[in-house]
A and B are shown apart, each in its own frame.
Chain A
Amino acid sequence: ETGVTQSPTHLIKTRGQQVTLRCSSQSGHNTVSWYQQALGQGPQFIFQYYREEENGRGNFPPRFSGLQFPNYSSELNVNALELDDSALYLCASRRDSPPQETQYFGPGTRLLVL
């Protein structure tokens, strides 16, 4: 049990739609990261939020956006869904101190785009 939860667990959308995925972190976890894991591949870093501000982004287009809230929850929004967006989306969170603090992953949301 990591204390990081994600909702929904599964989701089916059609191409062109918009989707919002949610992550709830442990109290005090002010850094949250999102990853996309396509089937049969390793996770890819999407972006990271620290104290409600984006502070790092991987190679993903602007239609991937996020929000982080003061209550340690966060969202990943994807607009104009494409078939290739089908994947497992993972969030991970941690405290920003001490520096060695481990980050914890949630179980993920599996998104299927038809």
Chain B
Amino acid sequence: AQSVTQLGSHVSVSEGALVLLRCNYSSSVPPYLFWYVQYPNQGLQLLLKYTSAATLVKGINGFEAEFKKSETSFHLTKPSAHMSDAAEYFCAVSENTAGNKLTFGGGTRVLVKP
């Protein structure tokens, strides 16, 4: 069985500050990990995914995430927050690179203060 835990349901950052969203996973098989963003009244958009090719994964909109097997973590970061980053972010795990049958975390809502 696979599961994902996102620490912190809400995060508030100032514009220009570092964004750090935490995700820990549990998986009995090598995990494939994903970060999605959801803007209000919209579906999910893929930010990035880890498929074992490289532990540091760069995604869209300046986000990146690092896979740490020893810590079972896949934290998402962005060096400098922008107002447009205000959204809800979901970490998810799958058994394959395509992201079929995803298991999601509870989400972290990001508020960006001017």
Chains A and B come from one and the same complex: yes
Which stretch (B12-20, B62-70, B71-79, B93-101) binds chain A? B93-101
Interface residues of A (CB under 8 A from B): 2, 4, 31, 33, 35, 40-45, 48, 56, 58, 90, 92, 94, 99-103, 105-108
> Which of A42, A45, A101, A106 has the most B CB atoms < 10 Å from its CB?
A42
Q: A33-B100, A94-B98, A100-B97 are in contact. Are A42 and B43 (CB under 8 A)?
A: no
Interface residues of B (CB under 8 A from A): 4, 6, 36, 41-46, 51, 90, 92, 96-107
- Chain B residues whose CB sits within 8 angstroms of the CB of A35 once the complex forms: 102
Assess the B100–A90 pair: CB atoms within 8 A. no
- Chain A residues whose CB sits within 8 angstroms of the CB of B98 once the complex forms: 31, 94, 99-103
Assess the B44–A58 pair: CB atoms within 8 A. no
The dominant DSSP class at the B interface is loop
In the bound assembly, the distance between CA atoms of A14 and B102 in angstroms comes to 30
Cβ-neighbour of B101 out of A2, A42, A45, A100 (below 8 A): A45
- For the complex with contacts A99-B97, A105-B43, A107-B41, 12 further pairs of A-B residues with Cβ separation under 8 Å are A2-B45, A4-B43, A42-B6, A42-B104, A43-B102, A48-B101, A56-B100, A102-B98, A103-B100, A105-B44, A107-B42, A108-B43
Assess the B105–A56 pair: CB atoms within 8 A. no
Q: Which residue of B lies closest to A95 (CB)?
A: B98
- Chain A residues whose CB sits within 8 angstroms of the CB of B99 once the complex forms: 102-103
- Chain A residues whose CB sits within 8 angstroms of the CB of B97 once the complex forms: 99-100
B52 to chain A minimum Cβ distance, whole angstroms, is 11
Assess the A107–B43 pair: CB atoms within 8 A. yes
Q: Which residue of A lies closest to B45 (CB)?
A: A105
- Chain A residues whose CB sits within 8 angstroms of the CB of B42 once the complex forms: 107-108
Assess the A43–B104 pair: CB atoms within 8 A. yes
